[in-house]
A and B are shown apart, each in its own frame.
Chain A
Amino acid sequence: MKAMLSAFILGLLFALGLGLSGMVQPSVVLAFLDVTGHWNPALMAVMAGAIGVTLPAYQWLFRRRRPLFEESFHLPTSERITLRLIVGSVLFGVGWGLSGYCPGAGLLAAAGAMPTAIVFSVGMLAGFYLFKRQEAPALSKPPLGDLP
């Protein structure tokens, strides 16, 4: 119950941070990505602010045994550099560059009833299901063989 409540409140806090940062406005994101035009560094400031808090917090937390409301930390176990990591990220970037919406911003703006974001989110969920239907196991192998 406590874990549900904290997740809810932190979802809300995340949403307000995202809204305040300007990252739910596609034009701000696209101005950051437009390196040959009127470049707007705002996204760098968002990343700096976020990592500036999360990185030291994580380093401190991971020296403790467990989180407050759960038995243990749930962390990704894979450390392999795979083709699907790179191909997936490149595909994500192309989609991001087309609209200026990343998943968080898109869902947030869709909840705020922006028609562009609703269409984006429908496409994104369709992409989730498409991936689920045809997961590509071949891409899970490391592109350079197992790295040391």
Chain B
Amino acid sequence: MSEILRNSTQECAAARLWGSENPVHAASPMTDTLLSLWLALAGGLLIGLSAAALMALNGRILGVSGITAGALGLTANDRGWRRAFLAGLGLGGLLLGLFSPQTLQVEQARSLPIYLVSGLLVGYGVRLSGGCTSGHGVCGLSRLSPRALLATLSFMGSAMLTVWVVKLVTVAAA
């Protein structure tokens, strides 16, 4: 029974951070959901802190898609700081992969072609709209920009609709 409960938990926040050897892994699903909410809030604060500091120091919007496109030379000329930012981001990913692989874990992975199609849509879409979750969602909303609000509502809405459709299709196929 406890095994079933544990499996039904969508993700174990403690295990995500510290590895499955940690005794907190056995926490009940309820405490676990609460803990993951606190971690989400704490992670959000760090994201906010980096966005605020990038504006205070470099005078730049922290938008990952725009920074990446610029670093590839697809938009602006000033590639330097963009490449430095991406190097930091990449180092972060490397460290997480080495010391806390749970944070990158993929449950119920879809087939690889789905990830390719998803990437194509995301890549084309964010360039067309000029921003993604960080640029429009965090920085744009913080600038109180009506464009960012409309963009955020649009991608959240279409993403929710997509998840719903995928669920319908997979249930019908099962």
Contacts and interface: CB of A to CB of B under 8 A. Distances in A.
Contacts of A54: 48, 51-52, 138-139, 142
Interface string B1-27: 000000000110100110000000000
B97 A126 contact: no
Interface in A23-81: 23-28, 30-31, 33-38, 40-43, 45-55, 57-58, 61, 66-70, 72-76, 78-81
Contact of B118 (A31, A33, A57, A95): A95
Contact of B146 (A9, A33, A50, A79): A79
B81 A33 contact: no
Interface string B108-133: 11101011111111111111111011
A144 interface: no
Per DSSP, chain B at the interface is helix
Interface residues of A, number: 115
Contact of A104 (B133, B147, B162): B133
Given A111-B90, A132-B74, A96 B118 contact: yes
B163 interface: yes
B11 A27 contact: yes
Contacts of B110: 98-99, 116
Contacts of B140: 76
Given A8-B84, A106-B119, A123-B120, A19 B96 contact: yes
A111 B43 contact: no
Contacts of A66: 59
7 closest pairs, A vs B, by CB? A127-B123, A123-B119, A15-B92, A49-B44, A21-B43, A11-B88, A88-B129
